[in-house]
Structure 1
Amino acid sequence: MDAVVTASGLRTPAIRIVREGRILPASSFTRAASIAGQALTGLVDARRVLDEVRGGATVVLQGLHRYWPPLTDLITALERELGHPCQANAYLTPAGSQGFAPHRDTHDVFVVQSEGAKTWRLGEEGEEEEVELHPGRVLYLPTGTRHSARAQDDLSLHVTIGINQFTWRGLVRRALLASLDEIEDGHLPAGWLDDPTEVVEGLRQRLAAVAEQLATSDPTTVVVAHEQDFLTSRPPRLAGGLVDALRGDDVDDDTPLRRRSTSTSVLRGGQDNGLRLLLGDRTVDMPAWLRPAMEQILAWQQFRPADLAETLDPQSRIVLCRRLIREGLLTPVR
Structure 2
Amino acid sequence: MSVVHPDQRGPENRSALGRLVSVDERTFIEEYWGRAPLLSRAGELVQSFDDLMTVEAVDELVSHRGVRTPFARMAKDGALLDRSEFTASGGFGAEMTDQLDSAAVLSAFASGHTLVLQGLHRLWPPLIDFVRDLVDDIGHPAQVNAYVTPASSKGFSPHYDVHDVFVLQVSGEKRWILHPPVHTHPLSNQPWSDRRSDVENRARETPAVDTVLRPGDALYLPRGWIHSAEALGDTTIHLTVGVASFNRYDVARQVFDMLATDADLRQPLPAGIDLNDPDAVLPHVDRIIDDLASLLDELRGDTTAQRSIAERLGARLTDITRPEPVNPLRTVAFMTGISADSQVVWRQGLAASVSRDSTTIHLTLRAKTVSLPIEAADAIAQLQTGKPCRVGDLVGLDTDSAIVVARRLLREGIVVPAS
Fold shared by both chains (TM-score > 0.5): yes
* Offset of residue 289 of structure 1: 5.0
Aligned residues of 1:232 and 1:282 also touching (Cα < 8 A): no
Alpha-carbon distance in structure 2 between the residues aligned to 1:196 and 1:139: 47
- What is residue 223 of structure 2 aligned with on the other side? 143
Aligned residues: 330
Give, as a single letter, the amino acid of the residue that structure 2 aligns with 1:297.
L
- Match in the other structure for 2:112: 56
* SS of the residue 1:221 aligns to: helix
Q: Give TM-score, length-normalised by structure 2.
A: 0.70
More strand per residue: 1
Instruction: Output the amino acid matched with 1:45.
Output: D
Alignment counterpart, residue 179 of structure 1, candidates 259, 264, 273: 259
Partner-residue secondary structure (3-state), 1:321: helix
Specify the alignment match of 1:125 in structure 2. 204
Q: 1:301 to 1:69 in 2, by over 3 A?
A: farther
Change (3 A) 1:18 1:198: closer
1:251 aligned onto 2:338 = yes
C-alpha distance after superposition, 1:240-294 (max 9, x if no partner): 123313552431112233454xx31346442659766576776645566544323
* SS state at 2:228 partner: strand
- Amino acid of the residue matched to residue 325 of structure 1? L
Cα contact 1:110–1:141 (8 A) shared by 2: yes
> Partners of 1:85 and 1:196 in 2: how far apart?
40
Greater shift in the superposed pair: 250-259 or 222-231: 250-259
The answer to whether structure 1 residue 322 and structure 2 residue 407 are counterparts is: yes
Q: How does 1:216-227 map to 2 (within 5 A)?
A: 216-217=298-299, 218-227=305-314
> 1:11 maps to what in 2?
68
**Equivalent in the alignment of 2:79:** 22
CA RMSD of aligned residues (A): 3.1
1:212 aligns with 2:297: no
C-alpha separation in 2, matches of 1:331 and 1:51 = 44
Give matches, 1:154-193, under 5 Å: 154-184=234-264, 185-193=266-274
Cα contact 2:323–2:349 (8 A) shared by 1: no
1:205: Cα distance to partner?
Answer: 5.2
Tell me: CA distance 1:266–1:196, structure 2 relative to 1, closer, same or farther (3 Å): closer
Task: Flag the 1:246–1:190 CA change in 2: closer, same or farther, 3 A.
Answer: same
Q: 1:191 to 1:29 in 2, by over 3 A?
A: same
Seen in structure 2, the aligned counterparts of structure 1 residues 199 and 245 have a Cα distance that, compared at 3 Å, is: same
Change (3 A) 1:197 1:145: closer
| Paired position in structure 1 for 2:4 | none
- Secondary structure class of the residue paired with 1:245: helix
List per-residue Cα deviations over 1:66-109 (Å, max 9, x = no partner).
Answer: 11111111211222222211111111112211111111111110
Closer, same or farther in 2 for the Cα pair 1:203/1:180, shift >3 Å? farther
Q: Is the 8 A contact 2:410 2:416 kept in 1?
A: yes
Q: For the structure 1 residues 196 and 233, does the alpha-carbon distance in structure 2 shift closer, same or farther, using more than 3 Å as the test?
A: closer
Unaligned runs of 5+ in 1: none
Aligned to 2:187: none
Map of 2:384 onto structure 1: 298
What is the rounded CA distance, in whole Å, between the counterparts of 1:86 and 1:286 in structure 2?
33
Look up the match of 2:43: none
Equivalent residues of 2:392, 2:398 under 8 A apart:
no
Structure 2 residue aligned with 1:104: 160
Whether contact under 8 Å (1:241, 1:328) holds in the other structure is no
